[in-house]
Structure 1
């Protein structure tokens, strides 16, 4: 049995032809699934009984089970824990903004990158998600919100470039007019900096936003919190980003989690400004989410403001990420980790 959400229109058309059905049936099926949100073949009323039988014998519609929903009392954030067909759980975060609904989705069950400030990596990496499993998080999110999601961030559990092929197929599916039809410019992919894949993505000519988890201005300091820094130097990452900008004419975002007394000094801000000055980029300052398994503490509001002002004074575009869902463990991996621990008792 295959997850039909993993199929592109072309692939499903070929399956229809191979199984004695008209190719046009593929688009009908996809319209039911993506446009009408009908997730049972029996309820697709313009299909013949024989086709419905064939679909049931060969496919399932891989919509995850909603295991838990945590709603913030501070804002409109909802964190959802989703159960997959094999028993694994993943998480996504729904956020309502004036400009539309956003979702932060996972690309792997767990993560093997080992970033010290992130809860996603504490249980290690179990497996990659398929393109359809990544897509299904948006579909269930829209069902929960009873509204369209217009912005997607691949910044949940997992490293997207560690699951490159499935993520690339997801980007094609989510953008397709027969599917969810979410524009590429409304999609952000966040990576800790796997250099060869930045070049590979650039050569595909997509118009998504590339976000780099930087978190330090020097290789030495970056190695303290991100093991990937032992493999790729900041200079290599910036060279790859320049190539990406040249190929796509898209601005790159650099994510910088501010950790008290680790990377939040005025000297850090000045050095980061010098590093990025002149690059077509934007810095997203993130007050670190405190995870009890490490001793990282959030920088003070004054420290964050000073850091941002130094970047601005050097001509570097900067925003401070609004803290959302802090009362519901909305940071990557926290809800899943709590669930796993509760199940093991």
Structure 2
């Protein structure tokens, strides 16, 4: 009977130590595997030169390192952004986006194939939900993007396809792989989980004291507008969400980022700009204002004059506000554009 080999990609250091123990090998070999895979990006056992010939042959028989398949990589004209479209073993397609921001190299990862939340202004929501990604598929995105770009990211944001707080059982095990000094060596302060407002997930992050940053996709200053743009707000109302975020910030001592996508005629009114700082009072926070990126959906970004006046109204209040420049819109790689297509 043929032995089914174990995919080692996505396994943590303790899991790799346990695996090598199961095949009669000392635990330190698991730590070597960890360093080779995540520290050096090596996916062939025969290239792991300090493991010994017999052990490498044994690993060839009992294990494998299988990444998603890279379908295409699309570069923006200015070379600052690249979108990697990948296919999983079961045919689902996902995307990751690399952004060269000069002072940092940011990689945007997907946590699900598609998304179940159906935000009405987001192309990913129109795709529908496929399934949760597993740790190997999340780490695989990172390794493929590295191989395409030829360097390591300094920052990770879970802002690609899917809602990471609905897949924490698979997302959280990837964090120690990313932050380990002999892994990808990314600071936990440079890893961000972005959520549409999944309150139980926010509470879990606080309870487990997860070392990373949190971003809330807010996009409205009143419940009715938020429900219209983000149907999940019916289940997790705005007032309840803000209470949960305040409790999270109090417990973790982390500042929270609120993402606000400006949509003409929906959430760009004077009263929105005046209400936004009041909503966040008492929460250590910063606001990222993002212009809606073009999709086939029936929404438009505000005019330059409207954006400028919105910014003027916000800056009258003592709260940190930044206007985030979207990258990769021409290759459908910007915020809200990912739909698993070339």
For the residue of structure 2 that corresponds to 1:267, the secondary structure is: helix
Partner residue, 1:342: none
Aligned residues: 338
Partner residue, 1:208: 212
Deviations 1:12-48 (A, max 9, x none): 1122122111111111222221222221112222223
2:118 is aligned with 1:114: yes
2:316 is aligned with 1:313: yes
Partner residue, 1:80: 84
Aligned counterparts, 1:265-276, within 5 A: 265-276=269-280
Looking at structure 1, the residues matched to 129 and 16 of structure 2 have their Cα atoms a distance apart, in angstroms, of 31
Deviation at 1:241, TM superposition (A): 0.8
1:323 to 319, 323, 326: 326
So what's the TM-score if we normalise by structure 1? 0.93
Aligned counterparts, 1:25-44, within 5 A: 25-44=29-48
For the residue of structure 2 that corresponds to 1:149, the secondary structure is: coil
Deviation at 1:288, TM superposition (A): 0.7
Indicate if the aligned counterparts of 1:119 and 1:331 stay in contact, CA closer than 8 A.
Answer: no
Could you tell me which runs of 5 or more consecutive residues in structure 2 were left unpaired when the two chains were aligned: none
Indicate if the aligned counterparts of 1:81 and 1:335 stay in contact, CA closer than 8 A.
Answer: no
Aligned counterparts, 1:93-104, within 5 A: 93-104=97-108
Q: 1:62 to 1:304 in 2, by over 3 A?
A: farther
Query: How much is the aligned-residue C-alpha RMSD, in angstroms?
Result: 1.6
Looking at structure 1, the residues matched to 335 and 218 of structure 2 have their Cα atoms a distance apart, in angstroms, of 17
2:183 is aligned with 1:179: yes
Deviation at 1:74, TM superposition (A): 4.1
2:138 is aligned with 1:134: yes
Indicate if the aligned counterparts of 1:152 and 1:188 stay in contact, CA closer than 8 A.
Answer: yes
Indicate if the aligned counterparts of 2:274 and 2:313 stay in contact, CA closer than 8 A.
Answer: yes
Deviation at 1:172, TM superposition (A): 2.2
Deviations 1:276-310 (A, max 9, x none): 23421111111011211x21001112222221221
Looking at structure 2, the residues matched to 191 and 149 of structure 1 have their Cα atoms a distance apart, in angstroms, of 21
Could you tell me which runs of 5 or more consecutive residues in structure 1 were left unpaired when the two chains were aligned: 340-345
Deviations 1:25-72 (A, max 9, x none): 111222221222221112222223442233233332132222111111
Indicate if the aligned counterparts of 1:91 and 1:333 stay in contact, CA closer than 8 A.
Answer: no
